[in-house]
Structure 1
């Protein structure tokens, strides 16, 4: 069975892990640093970020690790982060996430779970795409969940203003993560690898007491696997030699089959175009000519969509 001990030597490679101040993001950053990668940890909360950075530096005294501020619920923060990024990037782990919260909105007015988990990472990946494409064999790993199976993309109510339910909204954001992962691979072809990971039932802040009821939440945390184990699918997707793009890696680690909705290419393309409109971020280096059908959305930021290279498709998930 593959474990984090099987991670190859990553000396000379640079990895960026979002949400690295806790949950599975912290052990993901730690294991990558142990194997020699330069690791850029991001955090929204400065205090939690500094504490996590201290943990990694204590475990890997000779490691190349740094902390940068990033709030994925604020596209201004995402743009500022990307504008300041000035180096090649071998590995982007879209790990940060928020889940099962009462309805509220991001700084840009999007429903918080969809806005943070999907739109924030969509924008970040697009803005960092030139750095990834400049690096041979770059990978993008996006953390999804099997909760994606309860998700539905309602383009008439992406803000979930009608009938909001915490878990259903979380499932929508995780379905969006998978649709994004697979469409990115279809568009990028051989220019990078795009994979998704399902950590399994893990004791992270998403399942903290209070998300459900305090007694139920506390009992569930006792029954869940530790973050170190939950990080294994992400680490496998990020580092295992010989993997193919478009895989959905779950506990084991093993390859999982996404839901029919997640494999719907027309749905993925519509979500992609809608996400470009909502965020104002265009993947101009890889995006195919735009669909003739336009979907109303309020753009944030500027930039024209230019005709770009149409890359080969991916191998289907096994």
Structure 2
């Protein structure tokens, strides 16, 4: 069941038959599952943004009470004692912490609130990461099939092959902008207003959502909860720095939400364009180009020269 939902089953099928003659293949099943998981991704990211916003509000409240540093997020008696010393709380030894003597209950209260909030954030982020991996397989399967469909829609000489349309998403540096170029090509080649007599590369239309998706796709690569944590949280000296870091974290969460909804819009729009163009061009069966084996080519060249 997981292989089917994640797209692995579809990718294995494609791999085994990629050079067989084929006709238009609908992305209806892929778009359904992809939309569901992208929607879940966006909702979980939205929940994470509210959780980080609540943490920010809690830190602002602490700052107003004179608290200027964070307690440890895990139960560390020495860390709690150090926190107490910095904040002027009368909690000076491990025995006092264990028995909640003097003002150690205040220290433990700050620790408990911070630790519980951090645990909730980590659980939500873990769910987002799991959904992300599922979306990667589903999105790859969708893009591969959409790219293969171009040939059946009388769109020839595409720049990106179906295989490379997926691979470019995983090539470092290049994956900052190549995916945007790939989606643009798919939209141009799927434009129902462009027939076989027209130059689809220059006359095909691109939906505005593609450019918005490309913008937020790039922004999320460089500005996401992971990069924010590594950059902003390494420069924390006081509570004001913590609040600034959480401001950035909330913005990065919102970027994830926007990217998810834009991805839904782009993929559904592309699917509908291909479905409509398929109705216009009718049934067409195509034979994909089989790559030439370099060794076989070399042997053929040697044979020709010997003759």
Shorter-chain TM-score tier: under 0.3
Larger radius of gyration: 2
Q: Output the TM-score relative to the length of structure 1.
A: 0.26
Q: Greater share of helix residues, 1 or 2?
A: 2
Q: Output the TM-score relative to the length of structure 2.
A: 0.27
Q: Greater share of strand residues, 1 or 2?
A: 1
